[in-house]
Amino acid sequence: MDLSKRMFGIANKIRWLMIVLSLLTLQLFDKEKITAPHTYIPFFILIIYNISSYLHKGTSFKICYAESALDTFFITSLIFSTGGIESPFYLFYLLIIMFGACYYKVLPTFLLSFGISIIYLVASFLSGESIIPSHLMVRIPLFFATAGMCSFLVTETKIAEGELEDQRQKAKMLQPKIQAALCDINQEVDRLQELYDISIKIDGVSNEAEWLSYSLDYVVHYLCPDSAVVFLFNLSSGGLEAVATKGESVEFPSFRIGDGLIGQVAKEGESIVVGDTYIKTGPDYTFFQRQKIVSLIAVPLFLEGINGVLFCGWRVKKRFEEKDRMFMELVGKIISIRIKNERLDKEIMLLSICDKSTALFAYPFFEGKLKEEFARSMRLCRPLSLIILRTGKDLALDAQRLGLVINSQTRADDMVTYQNNTFFILALRTGEDKIKILANRIREEIEKKIGIKPIIGIACYPDSMAGSHTELIRKAYAALALAERKVERMVIASECGI
């Protein structure tokens, strides 16, 4: 709402206050100097106008001019009747100037101040009182100062009002974007709820086929594909085969790793999103074109060497969004984790990986991991070290304590096992220099906490030039034997150098 329009209601209320204050002030004046009829007639005129303006609210600038003229007439009458230049009612002129700054522009406001100054001088002259120059030197500049300051404040207020309106328009323009963002948030909440439901549902199901079917049910519910399939690697056939399907029946062949679109996803570990297979060329898309699958998403299942693929296909052209791919990848991760956990459970059931007496890895499991990590080190050309530790006495009573001490000095991904009074420590990604530091640290900790002086043999790959994990063990035993023969001056020996 414009500031000048707001001032009509404010002016009406302040005019009532001005009338009341004028009547109360008149009671303090010397009655002999006030001619009652001439003084109170302007009151009746102003009261009648104030009542009529309240009942009929106008916003025309003609009314502004009329109000300014009427208020000036009323205040001039009071000044003329109450002492002219000595009258305190000249202060009411400031209200007219303030309202004028809101109603008019800067120049008309100064013209109003100039006109009020002339009227004030004439009223003071006609009142018959002597004019004191000091009064004029203070009061006339006060009118113009009030006009200037009020015009400045009103201008700044209108500028601020314009800026506020601009911000309101910007907010109005942003409203559709905000609503779209809220819609996206609601969809994201639904997606997360679907993922949560999948996790909860499959957690209570032990049968693999059943929980895979539940997972595909949620995928179909959220993405509405015509066909959803889980492919897993089959060791006997050497290919990726469909183990769970939902939706329309599609005869999927067995895909070898790296062959076809499904095999390519399993090999490279990267998701593939295709909005229209018919604009694609090449044999990878021929199968889907024959099956009339127009759009598809395929994401890999990461199963540590035994790969799989989660696939969704549509028989219509579809425009995919980033959240569709992310949803599929998250479902794929849930399926991958569940399959990994099941396979790990089976491995735990088949192998007793923990020695009950020492709480360390059982030696058969340790040897299998050593073989696996040695092959990986050879393939990636990264270091691997093996420590063999003995104390030279029966460890039946202290084996568990020794195991705790050794474990406290190794890293989380290092492995420690115990067999025949001998400890084996496998340190991944550790070369000869670092393994000697680790061996010294273990020796010092055992001597400090248990009071036993251990004998240690070390073998490192690739420094030891071992060709297999068994050869690495043999070289570590050889270093241990060397340390035992020279125990008087040495407790740690390395196959690569003392």
> Based on the domain organization, do 302 and 220 belong to the same domain?
yes
**Residue position matching structure tokens 């002030």:** 25
Asked if residue 20 and residue 62 are part of one domain, the reply reads yes
Q: How many domains does the chain have?
A: 3
For residues 185, 187, 190 and 194, what is the CA-based torsion angle, rounded to 10 degrees?
A: -120
Q: Structural domain of residue 100, as residue ranges?
A: 3-167
Task: From 101, 134, 167, give the residue that closes a domain.
Answer: 167
How far, in Å, CA of 331 to CA of 480, rounded?
50
Evaluate whether residue 354 is within a structural domain. no
Position 203 scores a pLDDT of 60
- Whole-angstrom Cα distance, residue 414 to residue 437? 15
**Residue 219 lies inside a defined structural domain of this protein:** yes
132, part of any domain: yes
* Inter-axis angle of helices 208-223 and 133-203, nearest 10: 140
For residue 387, what pLDDT is reported? Answer: 92
Count of CA atoms in the C-beta half-sphere (13 A) of 375: 5
8 A C-beta contact, residue 112 and residue 73: no
Do 157 and 256 lie in one domain? The reply is: no
CA angle centred on 358, ends 357 and 362, rounded to 5°? 90
Residue 379 counted as domain residue: yes
146 part of a folded domain: yes
Q: Which amino acid is at 163?
A: E
157 and 9, same domain (yes or no) = yes
Distances in whole angstroms, Cα of residue 262 to Cα of each of 225, 280, 308: 17, 15, 9
Residue 358 lies in a domain: no
- Report strand pairing: 455-461 vs 492-494: parallel
Same domain, 104 and 18: yes
Q: Are residues 326 and 406 in the same domain?
A: no
Cα 380 to chain center, whole Å? Answer: 38
Instruction: Give pLDDT, residue 163.
Output: 87
pLDDT at residue 489, rounded to an integer: 43
Which residue has tokens 């009652």?
36
Q: What is the pLDDT of residue 152?
A: 87
Instruction: Tell me the CATH number at 397.
Output: 3.30.70.270
* Residues 294 and 225: beta-carbon distance below 8 Å: no
Kindly give, in sequence order, each residue whose CB lies less than 8 Å from that of residue 63, ignoring residues fewer than 6 positions away.
8, 53
User: 107 near 147, Cβ under 8 Å?
Assistant: no
Residues 118 and 230 in one domain: no
Residues 35 and 117 in one domain: yes
Gyration radius from the chain CA atoms: 48
Domain boundary among 137, 167, 197: 167
pLDDT by 10s per residue, the chain, length 498? 466 666 766 777 777 877 777 777 777 665 555 555 666 777 777 777 777 776 766 556 566 777 778 788 888 887 877 777 777 788 888 888 888 888 788 888 888 888 888 888 888 888 777 777 777 788 888 888 888 898 888 888 888 888 888 888 888 888 888 888 888 777 777 767 766 666 666 666 666 777 787 778 878 877 888 888 888 888 777 788 888 888 887 778 888 888 888 888 888 888 889 888 888 877 778 888 888 888 999 988 876 655 788 899 998 888 888 888 888 888 888 788 877 777 776 666 545 556 655 667 878 888 888 888 898 888 888 899 999 998 766 655 577 788 888 888 888 788 888 888 888 999 988 888 888 888 889 988 888 888 888 888 898 988 777 788 888 888 888 888 888 877 554 556 665 544
Residue 116 belongs to a domain:
yes
Contact at 8 Å (CB) between 113 and 97?
yes
- Do 47 and 158 have their domain in common? yes
Residues 342, 429, single domain; the answer is no
Residue 111 lies in a domain: yes
Any residues with CB less than 8 A from the CB of 34 and at least 6 apart, and which?
Answer: 26, 81, 82
Among the three residues 148, 167, 186, which one is the final residue of a domain in this structure?
A: 167
SS3 489: coil
Verdict on whether the full-model pTM lies above 0.85 = no
Quote the pLDDT of residue 424: 92
Q: How far is CA 441 from the centre of its chain?
A: 44
410, 475 Cβ separation under 8 angstroms? no
Tell me the CATH number at 297.
3.30.450.40
Query: Could you tell me if 325 and 381 lie in one domain?
Result: no
Q: Are residues 29 and 138 in the same domain?
A: yes
